Structure 1
Amino acid sequence: MHFNRRDKEDEFLLNLYKKLLYPRMVEDKMLKLLRQGRIGKWFSGIGQEAIAVGSTMAMQPEEYILPMHRNLGVFTSRNIPLKKLMAQWQGKLTGFTKGRDRSFHFGTQDYRIIGMISHLGPQMALADGIALADLLANRQHATLVYTGEGATSEGDFHEAINVAAVWSLPVIFLIENNGYGLSTPKAEQYRCKNLVDKAVGYGIEGRQIDGNNILEVYDTINQLAMEIRKDPRPVLVECMTFRMRGHEEASGTKYVPQELFDEWEKKDPLNNYEAYLIEQGILTTDTITDIKIQFKKDIEVAVEEAFEEPEPIADAIQEETDMYFPYQPEVIQPGKSFTEKRYLDAISDALDLAMEKYPNLVLMGQDIADYGGAFKITDGLMVKFGKNRVRNTPICESAIVGAGLGLSINGYKAVVEMQFADFVSVGFNQIVNNLAKTHYRWGEKADVVVRMPTGAGTGAGPFHSQSNEAWFTKTPGLKIVYPAFPEDAKGLLLAAIADPNPVIYFEHKYLYRSLTAQVPDGYYTAEIGKAVTITKGNQFTIITYGLGVHWALEHLNNHFEQKATLVDLRTLQPWDQETVKEAVKATGRVLLLHEDTLTNGFGAEISAWIGEHLFHYLDAPVMRCASLDTAIPMSKVLEDDFLAKARLAETIDKLLKY
């Protein structure tokens, strides 16, 4: 292994050695604790430390790094106290996640480190958003994100690099190619000779380096970071290395040929660098002994102190509360002037006002800039606010939702438009596992709104008409709103953008141009979590939302003899239990109506809650009216029969006759 010190001072080279040695000694301690049964799991990075340490030392302290679970050297090189790390690994209350997550599945703004989740790849899109925020704020920063060779097969890898290339984002995508994804060798992971060759496909620069040579790693990342701070662009770096332990200790290494261990043992990053420093007269055996004695003492103290840290105390209320970033919204009442607007125009108005109010708000979506979006909701916003803030995206829902979270992490707000709510399935993981869980896991907000053009009625068929709100209503950490009227569409969207928590905002496509009403002018908000009672009657209660509200109103207008209390939920998470309770008490008969399919639709949750809490007020079973348990057909005849509206009258008759 050839080392080139260039113009580095002895003191710097010695410090680099200490940074390299320390995580190796921590890992040695972890393996001993594992054998003693004092810890339960460990992902070893032994043999790969030069990548984590060298690259971290090349980044500025205020720049974000997004590592993987073998990158202990990132955390130690940024001087996170071992006691704190150990508390995290042991699930202690004083860990970064308070016992809620394991390993390096956490982030810390104090050290500008954003950890991974177990689904390999999503952190790469977060790096895009973080880098975009730096660009928008005119900060000359670089962002460093790691991935493994196995995760390069994930769609997230492709999406994140492609977005960074198209947007010229200053991101270093670093691949740790250690030869194996758990037990699967690289020959079964990809066909190309070198992963760095993928760079040309994205039109970006690629570098392949010796990941075990700490000076080569440092110099390469340092040079690239300096360049892209001034000339923003992404770079792909492939670091060749080897995993000397199992995927995690329980998996063992029997699947790896012994000759590979023999070959790579000679390339050990610590031993080779240590020998080089001795040769240069910077280290002596006595110095090495002194350093190791001090490190061993420090490690022993930190580990034992961490074991003494308190365990979490189970508190269900606190656990539920911590799913969300603390936020007390101020409901801003509408003014007294009104303008007639379509449902679609009310949404456009809200986006316009929010962009004025929040200079750090970024809109992202397919075709939303010059074209104005598939439904023309963002028409004109790019001209007014510029392409930096109203951004066309490649067709990559996962990367854009992830970039939204990255923007939030780095001080921005994001509104992401799904061209159709159906397409959110491609970004599902980022929503339910990243947006929804981030605050619960490590206390960071996820200030992202995902706009969801939803619903049937336009003959658009199985992939453009789904009502998929129930995919998200069961996911803690998300807020779900679903306005039925233009006034609410504006007020709830403004409230959603103001809220620092992730909000999934459903807007019904059928209502865009078919529904017009008087909408308050200016900025105001509607309360998320608050239902409205539209009509009051004593015979029965209809609880619904979205297009279901208009079906119910049409039915009641055609059946004056039926006196119903009609509740528009407006928000599905959190939903207004008090208003529902009062409506049920007032009539004793309840119909739950929604456009979504019957089985496991959101009405089932409300039905169960009413049965559990309000049974003694009921004069009849709670009944549900929903769409058929099929995919949504295109033909108008079939679609009309599919929708809940087709069974509304008969269901009401059944309820009243019970």
Structure 2
Amino acid sequence: MQDAAVDQMVFNREGFSDELLLSLYNQLLYPRLIEDKMLKLLRQGKVSKWFSGIGQEAIAVGATLALLPDEMIFPMHRNLGVFTARGVPFNRLFAQWQGKYSGYTKGRDRSFHFGTLEHHIVGMISHLGPQLSLADGVGLAHKLAGEGRVSLTFTGDGATSEGEFHEALNVAAVWQLPVIFLIENNGYGLSTPPTEQYRCAQLADKGIGYGMKALTVDGNNILEMYRTVRELAESMRENPEPVLLECMTFRMRGHEEASGTKYVPKALMDQWALRDPLSNYERFLMEEGLLTEGSKKDLTAQWKKHIDAGLQQAFDEGDPQNELQEELSDVYAPFVHTPTAPQSNSKTEKRFVDAISDGLRQAMEKHDKLVLMGQDIADYGGVFKITDGFVAQFGKERVRNTPLCESAIVGAALGLSLKGYKAMVEMQFADFVTCGFNQIINNLAKLHYRWGANADVVVRMPCGAGTSAGPFHSQSNEAWFFHTPGLKVVYPSTPYDAKGLLLASFEDPNPIMYFEHKALYRSLSEAIPDDYYTVEIGKARVVREGKALTVVTYGMGVLWAEKTIAELGIDAEIIDLRTLLPLDYETIETSVRKTNKVIILHEDTLVGGIGGEIAAHISEHLFEYLDAPVMREAALDTPIPFAGSLEKQFLPVVRFVEKVKKLMGY
């Protein structure tokens, strides 16, 4: 970072009333006094951790007050001024920091890792960068609705090295979204200086590569911050486009208090101390005759009294004693599904792929705020042609081609959901979901449990082997998500279920990973209703009844099981799970009590697969009903090979036949 200028800070009040100038001061003083109090409490051992924003308050306060109250802001952990300027009650803020029930996460998260849609704020998660993509989604919602609003998201200089920074800016630029990407360039990413973070002279220079407007301002000058953001927002409401705004400032405390600042040269620290946003603005107001030592003292006393009252209220509250049922039920947004039956008996023979397309089309017709996003899904119709013709019917605003930015697109889908939209993201292949893993696992899945907002997002996952597509286009990776509370995982095996479960997924307000086996797309067909209908998520299907043994499976495994049982002539019961999370344990238990023998089959690899969890459940809860050990068969514990002969060996089909014979002879 360049040395801070030590010239006297110049404030331009042109066009600003006395009332506004004093209001800005009042809102600048408030978070500073909170900070001072937190540092005292930290030294007293009454708070456990604190991320200080001292010296940076003008950015958060100026930007927040420059926006309209209903414009969404995505702050980070040093942006206390956003929350105070939006009127978030201090007692609830402190309760949040202390892990109390009355905080915004009921004690489930700390610091500023929360949101409050009442105040149009969505906080960060610990992983830097994801909030930028959420702001894209909110900006897209504004643009689709023609609302004339902007979103503003904060990031630090260090986080500009994250891939999500590139993805979010690229998507916003391509789609011309009204998003202000505000960089707090405060000199250090924890202890890493700018010379080890980037090579450009200013971070605003990065805007050139995205074709977006970019500028650098003095982040310590409250009037410059307010004026710049206000003018940008006014322009963007009329002419939507993204802007990169670099705000020069300095972090006067450690990354968090335990880190200290020993790595900062003393001369640099002294220079920036002269640029303190509060003391400089106080000097200006006194020169203008708007502030006196007496009025300053009065305002300080009022805020301190307010802060002390909020502290006492939070301290008086005990540790959270959340009921077990509340903890479990808050993982998902409340939803009771009532299956919808087709209105007529009209049916048409449809392939698996056509059933998905039919369901997607009817979901778009039913939900006018549903937006589809994915690579090549618009005019091209997707690599599997599932959305072929959708642009003609629904338009490119709702059927959107995306850049190759999986993480940003999942984040944008979540941003849309925050504004009341539904979103679908098509992974071109399920394997590519790794590029969006953080958004799915840490944002979509945890959002409702953390602070009550839901993620109304469906991620479609073309998956599976059998097409000699090799290690990166053939994986069955459902177990990655099966382990993540807050997600629902759906995996149909028939055209009927493919359509019905997809339509049910769009009715459900929770994030759903919807798996589609590619080898079933054009190899399997059946007569399914032409009308809209849904199949209940979380309910397994008994494919065939039997008494000799139970096969628990899903996806392509259902077809393998049917073929094997028919060829061996066994009176077996086959259960198609259809939904993997939540699992239908009741149907499994009923079958095992009847047959007394069970084998679990899945295409995914054996170790860590879903079969292990089901086997453990059966062994723990149904041991007295078993006449043989619970058996499993799955793919080899190797990556998926390309050559057809090796892929055949990898898959469990032949081994499953032998394992069934072994179980029958036990």
Correspondence for 2:637 among 623, 626, 629: 629
Partner in structure 2 of residue 222 of structure 1? 230
What is the CA–CA distance in structure 2 between the aligned matches of 1:553 and 1:6, rounded to whole Å? 79
Letter in 2 for 1:576: D
Letter in 2 for 1:327: F
Provide the aligned length of Structure 1 versus Structure 2. 657
Partner in structure 2 of residue 550 of structure 1? 559
For residues 569-618 of structure 1, what are the alpha-carbon distances to aligned partners after superposition, in whole Å with 9 as ceiling and x for unaligned?
00000011010001111111101000000101110100000000001100
Report the Cα offset of residue 298 of structure 1.
1.2
What is the CA–CA distance in structure 2 between the aligned matches of 1:107 and 1:236, rounded to whole Å? 23
Q: Does 1:253 align with 2:248?
A: no
SS at match of 2:615: helix
Partner in structure 2 of residue 583 of structure 1? 591
Letter in 1 for 2:540: A
What is the CA–CA distance in structure 2 between the aligned matches of 1:68 and 1:174, rounded to whole Å? 11
Correspondence for 1:187 among 195, 198, 206: 195
The 5 Å alignment of 1:104-119 reads: 104-119=112-127
Partner in structure 2 of residue 90 of structure 1? 98
Partner in structure 1 of residue 48 of structure 2? 40
What is the CA–CA distance in structure 1 between the aligned matches of 2:53 and 2:454, rounded to whole Å? 30
For residues 119-158 of structure 1, what are the alpha-carbon distances to aligned partners after superposition, in whole Å with 9 as ceiling and x for unaligned?
0000000000011011111100011000000000000000
The 5 Å alignment of 1:176-575 reads: 176-334=184-342, 335-560=344-569, 562-575=570-583
Partner in structure 2 of residue 16 of structure 1? 24
Q: Does 1:656 align with 2:664?
A: yes
Report the Cα offset of residue 385 of structure 1.
0.2
For residues 58-78 of structure 1, what are the alpha-carbon distances to aligned partners after superposition, in whole Å with 9 as ceiling and x for unaligned?
000010000000000000001
Partner in structure 1 of residue 4 of structure 2? none
Unaligned runs of 5+ in 1: none
What is the CA–CA distance in structure 2 between the aligned matches of 1:639 and 1:270, rounded to whole Å? 67
SS at match of 2:416: helix
Report the Cα offset of residue 646 of structure 1.
2.3
Partner in structure 2 of residue 68 of structure 1? 76
Letter in 2 for 1:95: G
What is the CA–CA distance in structure 2 between the aligned matches of 1:485 and 1:303, rounded to whole Å? 58
Hey, which bits of structure 1, 4+ residues long, moved more than 4 A?
Answer: none
For residues 208-234 of structure 1, what are the alpha-carbon distances to aligned partners after superposition, in whole Å with 9 as ceiling and x for unaligned?
000000111111100000000000000
SS at match of 2:624: helix
What is the CA–CA distance in structure 2 between the aligned matches of 1:293 and 1:569, rounded to whole Å? 63
Q: Which moved more, 1:351-360 or 1:187-196?
A: 187-196
For residues 28-66 of structure 1, what are the alpha-carbon distances to aligned partners after superposition, in whole Å with 9 as ceiling and x for unaligned?
000011111111010000000000000001000010000
Partner in structure 2 of residue 139 of structure 1? 147
What is the CA–CA distance in structure 2 between the aligned matches of 1:134 and 1:122, rounded to whole Å? 19
What is the CA–CA distance in structure 2 between the aligned matches of 1:541 and 1:279, rounded to whole Å? 85
Report the Cα offset of residue 315 of structure 1.
2.4
Report the Cα offset of residue 437 of structure 1.
0.2
Q: Judge conservation of contact 1:69–1:116 (CA < 8 Å) in 2.
A: yes
What is the CA–CA distance in structure 2 between the aligned matches of 1:220 and 1:559, rounded to whole Å? 76
What is the CA–CA distance in structure 1 between the aligned matches of 2:542 and 2:298, rounded to whole Å? 75
Letter in 2 for 1:456: A
Partner in structure 1 of residue 5 of structure 2? none
Q: Which moved more, 1:390-399 or 1:333-342?
A: 333-342
Tell me how large the CA RMSD over aligned residues is: 0.7
What is the CA–CA distance in structure 2 between the aligned matches of 1:581 and 1:600, rounded to whole Å? 22
Alignment TM-score, normalising by the size of structure 1: 0.99
What is the CA–CA distance in structure 1 between the aligned matches of 2:346 and 2:611, rounded to whole Å? 36
SS at match of 1:2: coil
Partner in structure 1 of residue 646 of structure 2? 638
For residues 439-476 of structure 1, what are the alpha-carbon distances to aligned partners after superposition, in whole Å with 9 as ceiling and x for unaligned?
00000010000000000010000000000000000100
Alignment TM-score, normalising by the size of structure 2: 0.98
SS at match of 2:521: helix
Letter in 2 for 1:197: D
Letter in 2 for 1:313: Q
Q: Does 1:170 align with 2:190?
A: no
Percent identity for Structure 1 against Structure 2: 63
What is the CA–CA distance in structure 1 between the aligned matches of 2:322 and 2:83, rounded to whole Å? 28
Partner in structure 2 of residue 125 of structure 1? 133
What is the CA–CA distance in structure 1 between the aligned matches of 2:544 and 2:614, rounded to whole Å? 20
What is the CA–CA distance in structure 1 between the aligned matches of 2:21 and 2:27, rounded to whole Å? 10
What is the CA–CA distance in structure 2 between the aligned matches of 1:643 and 1:205, rounded to whole Å? 52
Q: Judge conservation of contact 1:180–1:186 (CA < 8 Å) in 2.
A: yes
What is the CA–CA distance in structure 2 between the aligned matches of 1:390 and 1:455, rounded to whole Å? 25
SS at match of 2:155: strand
SS at match of 1:184: coil
Q: Judge conservation of contact 1:27–1:46 (CA < 8 Å) in 2.
A: yes
For residues 283-339 of structure 1, what are the alpha-carbon distances to aligned partners after superposition, in whole Å with 9 as ceiling and x for unaligned?
111111111111111111111111112431142222111000011111112342211
Partner in structure 1 of residue 111 of structure 2? 103
Report the Cα offset of residue 406 of structure 1.
0.2
Q: Judge conservation of contact 1:486–1:517 (CA < 8 Å) in 2.
A: yes
SS at match of 1:514: coil
What is the CA–CA distance in structure 2 between the aligned matches of 1:551 and 1:225, rounded to whole Å? 58
Q: Judge conservation of contact 1:94–1:310 (CA < 8 Å) in 2.
A: no
What is the CA–CA distance in structure 2 between the aligned matches of 1:230 and 1:180, rounded to whole Å? 36
For residues 405-435 of structure 1, what are the alpha-carbon distances to aligned partners after superposition, in whole Å with 9 as ceiling and x for unaligned?
0000011000100000000000000000000
What is the CA–CA distance in structure 2 between the aligned matches of 1:310 and 1:124, rounded to whole Å? 35
What is the CA–CA distance in structure 2 between the aligned matches of 1:83 and 1:177, rounded to whole Å? 30
What is the CA–CA distance in structure 2 between the aligned matches of 1:98 and 1:575, rounded to whole Å? 27
For residues 153-179 of structure 1, what are the alpha-carbon distances to aligned partners after superposition, in whole Å with 9 as ceiling and x for unaligned?
000000000000000000000000001
Report the Cα offset of residue 347 of structure 1.
0.3
